[in-house]
Amino acid sequence: MASEQYEAVLPSLYLPQLARVKRAAMMTEWEKHFEIELTTGQPLGHEPGQFVEVSVFGIGEAPISVSSAPRDDPGFELVVRKMGNVTSALHRLEAGATLGLRGPFGRGFPLEELAGRDILLVAGGLGLVPMRSLIQHILAHRSDFGTVTLLYGCKEPAELLFTDEQAEWAERDDFDFRVTIDRPHPDWDGHVGVVTTLFEGLELDPRSTKAVLVGPPIMYRFVILECVNRGMADEDILVDLERRMKCGVGKCGHCQINNKYVCQDGPVFSYHEIATLREAI
Ligand SMILES: Cc1cc2nc3c(=O)[nH]c(=O)nc-3n(C[C@H](O)[C@H](O)[C@H](O)COP(=O)(O)OP(=O)(O)OC[C@H]3O[C@@H](n4cnc5c(N)ncnc54)[C@H](O)[C@@H]3O)c2cc1C
Ligand code: FES
């Protein structure tokens, strides 16, 4: 969405709206899970894959992905890893706290392009947070898609996110969910190896499949190679890029890679769009 379009729907691109924490709970040792609502009671109006700029008053602002798909009630979910000033301040917030919110911003997952295709989702670590908004959308509209496979990898079992939902995904026969941990661990009796090892034995038709990748850059390099080696076109491989951001709306240039603003042209790009950009991945 261009910034003029944002201006048409938002009170101001730079003025946060007030929002309230409905629920807050630690999900792992490092990540806190929030359910949030705008104080106006209006839905956020986001699409899967978009992000919001969340502010803690007196501290600062950070871009955070919306981790839930749009739903009937006005609530939406965020998962925040404690990294520095803003994210630590967010971790101190509990139910009832007020925060500021700008957005939703960015170009999310291209739902119309994905409809009717076989879908291969590959998530690494915190990448499951934005990916979950797409997973929820796909499961709510399951008959719109062909086969759906999710490959998810983390370094250790304690990092696994949304473990309750993982158990539900594993039970579904219309959703092929595979999870791995990088190295052997005493608390883990499942698959061991980096996420690309989950490709072994995976049947995918390169002509009908769209792949969606969300994770660290190192994962992108190897997963893209795997997809390309299996005959997938660059246009059918989608990646969610993360860059330092400030404004979130294509004005400040913090997130710029060559002629692309990740905050506005992305964060979701096809590999075709970014393959020639230096240092994109
Ligand atoms: C589009 C987008 C979506 C994001 N979604 C989420 C999310 O859903 N959940 C979540 O926990 N985090 C998410 N992040 C990352 C989050 O924005 C940063 O962790 C946060 O801005 C750090 O702010 P801080 O003030 O807490 O840390 P700071 O005090 O600013 O920095 C602490 C440390 O984090 C590093 N850092 C800061 N920002 C980034 C960054 N963007 N990438 C890599 N390292 C960084 C700094 O170098 C420093 O080492 C997202 C980032 C983007 C751009
Ligand atoms: S964050 Fe300002 S231009 Fe993208």
All structural domains of the chain? 3-105 (2.40.30.10), 111-274 (3.40.50.80)
Among 199, 142, 144, CA closest to 169: 142
Tokens at 5, concatenated: 């379009």
- Ligand 1 lined by 82 (C-beta under 6 Å): no
> 199: which DSSP letter?
G
Q: pLDDT category, 103, cuts 50, 70, 90?
A: very high
Query: What's residue 278's pLDDT?
Result: 63
Query: What's residue 27's pLDDT?
Result: 97
Report how far residue 45's alpha carbon sits from residue 91's, in angstroms, rounded to the nearest whole number: 25
Query: What's residue 14's pLDDT?
Result: 84
CB 210 within 8 A of CB 236: yes
Higher pLDDT, 12 or 197: 197
Query: What's residue 276's pLDDT?
Result: 79
Among 70, 75, 24, CA closest to 48: 70
Average pLDDT score over the chain: 93
Whether the pLDDT of residue 8 is over 60: the answer is no
Q: How many residues does the chain have?
A: 281
- Nearest C-alpha to atom 5 of ligand 1 is from which residue? 64
Ligand 1 center to 110 CA (angstroms)? 24
Whether the pLDDT of residue 2 is over 90: the answer is no
- Nearest C-alpha to atom 24 of ligand 1 is from which residue? 84
Residues 49-71: tens digit of each pLDDT: 999 999 999 999 999 999 999 98
> 107: which DSSP letter?
B
Residues 155-171: tens digit of each pLDDT: 999 999 999 999 999 99
- Whether cis (ω within 30° of 0) applies to the bond prior to 74 is no
Whether the pLDDT of residue 7 is over 90: the answer is no
Beta strands in 43-175 (DSSP E): 51-56, 60-65, 76-81, 98-105, 118-124, 148-154
- Hey, how many other C-beta atoms are within 10 angstroms of the C-beta on 25? 10
Ligand 2 center to 11 CA (angstroms)? 19
Whether the pLDDT of residue 3 is over 60: the answer is no
Query: What's residue 149's pLDDT?
Result: 98
Query: What's residue 85's pLDDT?
Result: 96
Tokens at 199, concatenated: 């490709």
Whether the pLDDT of residue 100 is over 60: the answer is yes
Kindly list the protein residues whose Cβ atom lies closer than 6 A to any atom of ligand 2.
245-248, 250-255, 261, 263
Beta strands in 117-187 (DSSP E): 118-124, 148-154, 176-181
Atom of ligand 2 nearest to the CA of 245: 1
